Chain A
Amino acid sequence: MSARSLLSKIDAAYSGARRHFIYARLSLKTGLDLQDPTCLDEVSAGDLERLMGAIREICLDVRL
């Protein structure tokens, strides 16, 4: 699964400020600036693993 498809699950589950702050938390937890779409072009396997772990921890409404 790619970073973009992971984030599309977030976009489908949340909107507005909730989504904004979830993106902020995921950014801090992964070190990726997820609000900058270009950062998704450089995601390593380790980044992807961290992103999946952070989504599992934070986004209780999202199933991966």
Chain B
Amino acid sequence: MTIELATASGDHGLHLVGGEPLIFHCHHYNAALQQSIEDLGHSLPVHDILRDGAVAPVHAQLTSAFAGHSAAERLAFGADLFRRLGFGTLSAGGLDAGGGQASLHDSHYALGFEARSRHGAARRDPACHFAAGFVEALAAATFDARPGSYRAVETGCAALGAEHCTFDVEKLAEPRPLSPSMGMGLVPSPMPPRPRFESNVDESFILAALSKLPLEGNEEGLIPAFGVYLTRHYANYYNYISYELERRVTAEMPRLLDAARDLLTEAGHVCAFNTFGGIMESPEWDAVVGPMLRDRRDWVAGIVSCINALGWGRWSVVELVEHERLVLRVDASYESSYYLQRFGADDQPHCHFCRGAAAGIMNLLYAGDITQKPTLDATYYDQLFSGPESFRGTEARCRSRGDDCCELVVERQTYAV
């Protein structure tokens, strides 16, 4: 009997695997987000946050399927899952109930930081905190221990020049307390009707075509696609690390809260530029979406349809005033669904990533011209996101503020310092 994770999806747009929402994100976003959190390393235990974020969702997912299987089968399954999700090639067979060593070749995070080193992301310390948390969760799920029962320390990292990454794993005398996984969080039920947006794009056709793409880790455990390295990542990892940052800054350094939120949004800009841009320049886009494209309204509708294949929730175009304004509605965004489940509603919008991603659509199409397939490099990024004609997103409505949906408004706005 092989180990299998139950899968489920629905009109909310989330893709559940073993009860955990999995979403696609690229190495640019993963490195930019981690770097933003690490910037607070002088006053917060950022590496604990980055590692702990992996433990609860991975442990919950694996334990949903491990009953009746041997330790060797569990470890092998966990390593194969890690590879299929695009994080690299993990060797965990040497672990036992007391701990041991694990190794990682072709680490996604090490590779991501290396690729972004010219953006000031060069490492001085190990990079693979998500992988360390995954190893901790795998050990706990394998040996029927509670999440937080193991500690994995990365003792060598490819981002620092090692041939591969290594982790020393030890069983703790007492499990450290961790926030439990939020699963799919609180999603609207039933889902509300979608706004109608006139275009020539057939979203159901695009979703069916994208679902057939082999977006799974190769032999090296990497997912090279659309000019980036993708991961099929844990939504609740992103949620945990982003909202822990927000929560702790609110409590301990409230004067820096706007700066922290801005950086979560800037990571969304980085994501949109590289992943949306890469998708819109890809042969897959040309083949699947290209025949439907008559004008830039169709490009907007086309990329929003592709976003709906990424597991981020259900995105819809509400309004587009070309060259001026875009309004998007997101039902069941992975950010708000988690936030509501964990914290309940408050008086602030919290979909910081979505805000940046939405701005990216307008910057690619109306501050720049992605239809001409420009080179997606740092110079072009600065031109699109830092020019006087650049667009910026705000979240006018948010479910985590008690609204019935999340609504992102993108307009040209300059930045005060």
Residues of chain A touching chain B, judged by Cβ–Cβ distance below 8 Å, are: 11, 14-21, 23-25, 27-31, 33, 35-36, 39, 50, 57-60
Q: In the complex, are the beta carbons of A28 and B258 less than 8 A apart?
A: no
The majority secondary structure among interface residues of chain A is: helix
Q: In the complex, are the beta carbons of B42 and A16 less than 8 A apart?
A: no
Contacts of A14 in B (CB 8 A): 386
Contacts of A29 in B (CB 8 A): 39-40, 42
Kindly identify which residue among A17, A24, A57, A58 contacts B259, using a CB–CB cutoff of 8 Å.
Answer: A24
Q: In the complex, are the beta carbons of A20 and B255 less than 8 A apart?
A: no
Interface positions of B from 75 to 128, Cβ below 8 Å from A? 118, 120
Interface positions of B from 345 to 396, Cβ below 8 Å from A? 382, 385-388, 390, 392
Q: In the complex, are the beta carbons of B388 and A17 less than 8 A apart?
A: no
Q: Does B43 contact A (CB under 8 A)?
A: yes
Contacts of A21 in B (CB 8 A): 262-263, 266
CA distance A14 to B266 in the complex (A): 16
Assuming the A-B contacts A28-B260, A33-B255, A33-B259, are A20 and B42 also in contact, with contact meaning beta carbons closer than 8 angstroms in the complex? no
Contacts of B40 in A (CB 8 A): 28-29
Contacts of B390 in A (CB 8 A): 16-17
User: B389 to nearest A CB, angstroms?
Assistant: 10
Q: Does B256 contact A (CB under 8 A)?
A: yes
Q: By CB atoms of chain A within 10 A, which of B43, B118, B415 has the most?
A: B415
Q: In the complex, are the beta carbons of B36 and A16 less than 8 A apart?
A: no
Kindly identify which residue among B39, B258, B385 contacts A17, using a CB–CB cutoff of 8 Å.
Answer: B385
Q: Does B321 contact A (CB under 8 A)?
A: no
Contacts of B386 in A (CB 8 A): 14-19
Contacts of B387 in A (CB 8 A): 16
Q: In the complex, are the beta carbons of B392 and A16 less than 8 A apart?
A: no
CA distance A30 to B39 in the complex (A): 9
Interface positions of B from 237 to 293, Cβ below 8 Å from A? 253, 255-256, 258-260, 262-263, 266, 269
Assuming the A-B contacts A33-B255, A58-B120, are A25 and B388 also in contact, with contact meaning beta carbons closer than 8 angstroms in the complex? no
CA distance A15 to B386 in the complex (A): 7
Contacts of A59 in B (CB 8 A): 120
Q: Does B414 contact A (CB under 8 A)?
A: yes
Q: In the complex, are the beta carbons of A24 and B263 less than 8 A apart?
A: yes
User: A6 to nearest B CB, angstroms?
Assistant: 14
User: A42 to nearest B CB, angstroms?
Assistant: 12
Assuming the A-B contacts A28-B40, A50-B42, A60-B120, are A18 and B382 also in contact, with contact meaning beta carbons closer than 8 angstroms in the complex? yes
Q: In the complex, are the beta carbons of B388 and A16 less than 8 A apart?
A: yes
User: B283 to nearest A CB, angstroms?
Assistant: 31
Q: Does B417 contact A (CB under 8 A)?
A: yes
CA distance A24 to B39 in the complex (A): 10
Q: In the complex, are the beta carbons of B417 and A28 less than 8 A apart?
A: no
